[in-house]
Amino acid sequence: MFKGLFNIIVKEVKELVRDPKILLGMIIVPLIMFPLMGFAIQTSMETAEESMRSISIAVMDLDEGPVAENLTNFLIALNVIIVEVDYLNFTEAVNYVQQLNVTGLVVIPSGFSNNITEGLKAELDVYTVFRGGGIVESTSSSMISALFETFEEGLVVQKVGEKFPETRETVLNPIEMSEKSIIKGKPVNVNPSVLFGLMVLQSTGMPVGIMMLLIFAMQLAATSVASEKEEKTLETLLTLPINRFTILAGKLTGSIVVAVIGAAAYIVGFNYYMSSFMGMMPTEIGVDLATIGLAPTPISYLLLGVSLFVSLLSALALAISISIFAEDVRGAQALVGPLSMLLVFPMIIMMFTDVYALPFPLMIVLLAIPFTHPMLASKVAFTGDYLTAVIGIAYVSIFTIVVLYIAARLFGTEKILTAKLKFRKLRFRKLKK
Amino acid sequence: MGLAVECNALVKDFGDVRALDGLSFQVKNGEIYGLIGPNGAGKTTALRIVSTLLLPTSGSVKVFGQDVVDDASEIRRVISYLPEEAGAYKNLSGYEYLEFMAKFTTEDKEVIKESVDVAARISGLEERLKDKVKTYSKGMKRRLLVARALMTKPKLAVLDEPTSGLDVLHSVHVRGLIKQYVENQGVTVLLSSHNMLEVEHLCDRVALIDKGKIVAEGSPAELKKSVNASNLEEVFAKVVGFV
Ligand SMILES: Nc1ncnc2c1ncn2[C@@H]1O[C@H](COP(=O)(O)OP(=O)(O)OP(=O)(O)O)[C@@H](O)[C@H]1O
Ligand SMILES: [Mg+2]
C-alpha cells in the first residue's frame, strides 16, 4: 500500500512541477516579481530622497528686516536653493515659481522682523507648489514645513534663553518621561512603540505568508484532482488495484511537497523584497527579544508548525472535495477561488484587532474558520498562551478529519464520475421553474 | 470452463434515464466477447459497471465469481480497463506513464521492466516513448493506452472501443495483438465496438445491445445464420429494425 502511495506522490510531483502554468507561478511571481517590486519601490524612494536634498524655495521678502535675513541665511545654511523674487508682485511671483520648477514659495510680509523682536505674533505664508501630487511632492512639502518649524524652535530657544539664562533646559523640557512596557506580567525597560512595531511586522508578515502558502497549495490540489478529469485519466486510475484513500493521500502529499517548494521560493523572493526597505528602517532596535521573553521559544515554534501543517491539510482537503465537482482545471480553480475569502477574512480582522475583542457572534464565526488558528498561533510568542494554540490545533485536526472523510467518501463512490452531471441537472431544474 | 463475467438482470438508472434495462450475459474464461449496439445503447455503462466504476441500480455482476459491489478491490486486482475516452498524464513521458501503471500490479522490478517492454512492443511507439505524452497524436495515445491495458497480463481486459481513432494499419495490428494475447496468455477480453468487421474477426461471441437490453447473442456465424444475413452489419440492421 505504501509502495502505491509513493508511486502516486512521485507522479503528482512530476506532473505538477512540469506543468508550465504552475512552474510560472512558482518562479515568475516569487523570484522575478518580488525583486522587481522591491526595485521599483527602492528607486522611487531614492528619487524622493534625491529631490529632498535639492529643495528650492522662492523667497519674496517684503520685510527686509534682520529676522527675515536670518531666515534666508538659515535656509541657505541647510543647502536650500534660494530664489529671490522680492522685486515682483505676488501674481508675477506665482507665475515665476511655476515656470522655474521651484518646490515652494515663502512670502515674508513687511513688519515680520519687527513683530518678532517686539514679542508679537508674526505671520509667514508658505506655499508648496503642486505638480503631479506624488509621494515625492508630499515629502518635499513636509520637508518645507519641517524647515520652518526648526527655525521657529530656534527662535523659541533663543527667547527662552534671554528670559531664563540659567534654567533654559528645564523650562523648555520640564518633564523627563521614560516609557516602558509590561510583558507577560513582567515590567521591562523597553519603549512600547518599539514593541508595537515588532508586533505589526509579525501580525502582517505572518498572515500574509500563511495566506499565500495556503492559497497556492489549494490551487495545486484542485489542479491535481481536476486535471485527472480534464485529461481523462481518472477512470483508469479508479480501476487500478489501489485504495482510493491512497490516491487521495497521494494527491494531498504531492500538493504539499510542491507547495513547500513554492513557499521556499516565495520566502526567498519576499525576503529580497523586504530587504529593499530595510535601508529605510532603523536597523538596530537595540532590544534583545530573547531576554524579555518575546523571542519564539521552541514550544511556540513547534505549535506554530503543527498548527500550520494541520490547517494546510484542512485547506487541501477542502480544495479536493470541492474540485471533485468540477469538470476541468479552470472550473476547479474557480470553485476553489471563493475559499480564499475564508483566508482573507480572518487575516484582515487579525491584522487590526484581537479576535477575543470582537462581538461574540463574529468571534464564533472567526474561530470556526480553520485558517484563523495558525494566525492565532503565530501570536503565541507574544502572549505565551499555549493553550489557545493547542485547542486551535485540536479543532483544526478534527475539522480536517471530517473534511478528509467526506472527500474520501466522494472519492470512494461513483459520485466522482457522475457528480458533475447531477450538478448540471440541478441548475437546469431551477431554470425550468 | 469457468465464467469470467456473469451479468444478471442488470439495471442502471442515471436519474430519469434508464441506461441498462435488465441486461444479462456471460463471458467464458479465455474468450473474446463483444458488445455491439447503437450510440447510447448502454455499452460503456455496462463495461464501467463490470470495471467497478459505477454501481448497479439493481441486478448483479460477478467477475471471476466476485461481486462488483462487495468485492470491488479484489476485482480491480485482476482486471484492466481501457476507457472509451481516455488520456495519459501529459507531462510524463510514455515510458514514465507505463512504469507508473505497471508499479500498481507488482513491486518486482524485473516484472515491471518486462511489462514496459511488452507495452513498448504492443504500442509500436519505440523511440517516441521517451517523449512527453502531450506531444503524441490521438492514435499514438490510443496505442499507448491499449498497450498499458494489456501489458500486465490481466485475467480480464475490459476494452471500450479499443481501436477507436486508429488508422487501418494500426487497427489491424492491435486486433492481431489482442487475438494473440488471448491465445498465448489466457487473457479474457470483454470489448465494445462499432466496427462490425472488427467484431466479426475478433470475437468468439457477441451480444447486440439496444436500449439497455440484449436483442441477439451468439457467435458471429450463428447470428448471421439466424437472421439470414451475409454480414454482421446486416444482422445489426435487421435486429434493431431499421431496414
Ligand atoms: N454519467 C451519466 N449520467 C447520466 N446519464 C448517463 C451517464 N452515462 C451514460 N448516460 C446515459 O446512459 C445511456 C447509455 O450510455 P452509454 O455511454 O452506456 O452508451 P454507449 O452504448 O456506450 O454509446 P456510444 O456508442 O455512443 O459510446 C445514454 O442514454 C446516456 O445518455
Ligand atoms: Mg460508449
Tell me whether A238 touches chain B (CB under 8 Å).
yes
Q: How far is CA A296 from CA A175, A290, A305, A383, B211, in A?
A: 36, 8, 12, 10, 69
Residue of B nearest to A231 (CA): B87
**pLDDT of residue B166 exceeding 60:** yes
How crowded is residue B64: how many other Cβ atoms within 10 Å of its Cβ?
18
Spatial CB neighbours of A398, under 8 Å, sequence gap ≥ 6:
none
Q: What b-and-e string marks burial along A219-246, b requiring 16 or more CB atoms within 10 Å of the CB?
A: bbbbbbbbbbbbbbbbbbbbbbbbbbbb
The Å distance, Cα B44 to ligand 1 centre, comes to 7
| For the CA of B41, the nearest atom of ligand 1 | 21
Radius of gyration of chain A (CA): 32
CA nearest neighbour of A367 among A341, A386, A349, A380: A349
Tell me whether B121 touches chain A (CB under 8 Å).
no
The Å distance, Cα B204 to ligand 1 centre, comes to 25
Spatial CB neighbours of A70, under 8 Å, sequence gap ≥ 6:
none
C-beta atoms of A15 and B15 within 8 A? no
Q: Please name the member of A11, A231, A241 whose beta carbon is closest to the beta carbon of B90.
A: A231
pLDDT confidence of residue A422: 42
Q: Ligand 1, from B18, B36, B44: best to mutate by most atoms within 8 Å of Cβ? A: B44
Mean pLDDT of chain A: 79
Closest C-alpha to ligand 1, atom 31: B40
Find the angle CA(A404)-CA(A406)-CA(A408) to the nearest 5 degrees.
65
Tell me whether A233 touches chain B (CB under 8 Å).
yes
- The CA distance from B232 to the nearest CA of chain A, in Å, is 31
CA distance B185 to B188: 9
C-beta atoms of A236 and B53 within 8 A? no
- Residue B74 near residue B65, CB atoms below 8 Å: no
CA distance A382 to A197: 13
Tell me whether A358 touches chain B (CB under 8 Å).
no
CA distance A290 to A302: 17
- The CA distance from A258 to the nearest CA of chain B, in Å, is 15
User: Which cell is B39 given?
Assistant: 450510440
CA distance B42 to B234: 21
Residue intervals in chain A for CATH 3.40.1710.10: 51-172
- Residue A106 near residue A85, CB atoms below 8 Å: no
Mean pLDDT of chain B: 90
Residue ranges covered by each domain of chain B:
1-78+155-243, 87-153
pLDDT confidence of residue A182: 82
Tell me whether B52 touches chain A (CB under 8 Å).
yes
Contacts with A414 from chain B: Cβ below 8 Å? 53-55
Tell me whether B77 touches chain A (CB under 8 Å).
yes
CA distance B44 to B39: 10
Query: Can you identify the CATH homologous superfamily of domain B1-78+155-243?
Result: P-loop containing nucleotide triphosphate hydrolases (3.40.50.300)
Q: Residues near ligand 1 with C-beta < 6 Å?
A: A 418, 421; B 14, 17, 19, 37, 39-45, 84
Residue reference for cell 530573547: A290
CA distance A55 to A143: 8
- Residue A219 near residue A333, CB atoms below 8 Å: yes
- Residue A83 near residue A58, CB atoms below 8 Å: yes
C-beta atoms of A232 and B87 within 8 A? yes
Burial of B14 (0-12, 13-18, 19+ CB in 10 A): middle
CA distance A212 to B201: 59
Asked if ipTM goes beyond 0.85, one says yes
Tell me whether B12 touches chain A (CB under 8 Å).
no
The Å distance, Cα B177 to ligand 1 centre, comes to 28
One digit per residue, pLDDT tens: chain A, 433 residues?
Answer: 566 889 999 999 998 888 887 777 777 767 777 778 778 877 877 776 776 667 888 888 888 889 999 898 888 888 888 888 877 788 888 888 888 778 888 999 989 999 988 888 888 989 888 876 666 677 777 888 888 898 998 888 888 888 888 888 888 888 888 888 887 677 877 788 877 776 666 556 666 777 777 888 888 888 888 888 888 899 999 999 988 778 888 888 898 888 888 777 777 776 676 666 555 444 444 555 555 656 667 777 788 788 888 888 888 888 888 887 788 888 888 888 888 777 778 877 877 777 778 888 888 988 898 888 887 887 776 667 788 889 999 999 999 888 877 877 777 777 777 755 444 444 444 444 3
For ligand 2, a single-atom ion, which residues have Cβ within 5 Å? B 43-44, 84
Closest C-alpha to ligand 1, atom 16: B42
Closest C-alpha to ligand 1, atom 17: B44
User: Which cell is A223 given?
Assistant: 489542479
The Å distance, Cα B72 to ligand 1 centre, comes to 22
Q: Please name the member of A3, A15, A414 whose beta carbon is closest to the beta carbon of B89.
A: A15
Record the pTM: 0.75
- The CA distance from B52 to the nearest CA of chain A, in Å, is 7
- The helix/strand/coil state of A35 is helix
Contacts with B87 from chain A: Cβ below 8 Å? 231-233
C-beta atoms of B77 and A241 within 8 A? yes
Q: Please name the member of B48, B87, B105 whose beta carbon is closest to the beta carbon of A233.
A: B87
User: Which cell is B179 given?
Assistant: 487475438
More confident residue, A245 or B13: B13
What CATH number labels A51-172?
A: 3.40.1710.10
Indicate which of B103, B134, B151 best probes the interface with A, i.e. most A CBs within 10 Å of its own CB: B103
CA distance B209 to B130: 41
Q: Please name the member of A4, A233, A417 whose beta carbon is closest to the beta carbon of B54.
A: A417
Q: Which amino acid is at A144?
A: I
C-beta atoms of B83 and A242 within 8 A? no
Q: Give one word for B107, left, alpha or beta, with left for phi > 0 and alpha for psi -120 to 50.
A: alpha
Contacts with B54 from chain A: Cβ below 8 Å? 414, 417-418
How crowded is residue A352: how many other Cβ atoms within 10 Å of its Cβ?
7
pLDDT confidence of residue A203: 57
Ligand at minimal distance from the CA of B39 is: 1
Query: How many residues make up chain B in this entry?
Result: 243
Q: How far is CA B29 from CA A262, A279, B190, in A?
A: 51, 79, 11
- List the beta strands (DSSP E) in A124-212: 125-128, 181-183, 186-188
Radius of gyration of chain B (CA): 18
- The helix/strand/coil state of A215 is helix
Tell me whether B80 touches chain A (CB under 8 Å).
yes
Of chain B, the percentage scoring pLDDT greater than 90 comes to 61
- Residue B121 near residue B94, CB atoms below 8 Å: no
Contacts with A242 from chain B: Cβ below 8 Å? 76, 104
The Å distance, Cα A147 to ligand 1 centre, comes to 82
- The helix/strand/coil state of A109 is coil
CA distance A289 to A201: 14
Q: Residue B43 — very low, low, confident or very high, per pLDDT cuts 50/70/90?
A: very high
Q: Ligand 1, from B16, B45, B161: best to mutate by most atoms within 8 Å of Cβ? A: B45
pLDDT digits (tens, 9 = 90+) for A376-391: 887 776 667 788 889 9
- The helix/strand/coil state of B222 is helix
pLDDT digits (tens, 9 = 90+) for B93-133: 999 999 999 999 888 899 999 999 999 988 888 899 999 99
Q: Which amino acid is at B214?
A: I
Tell me whether A420 touches chain B (CB under 8 Å).
no
- Residue B89 near residue B133, CB atoms below 8 Å: yes
Closest C-alpha to ligand 1, atom 8: B45
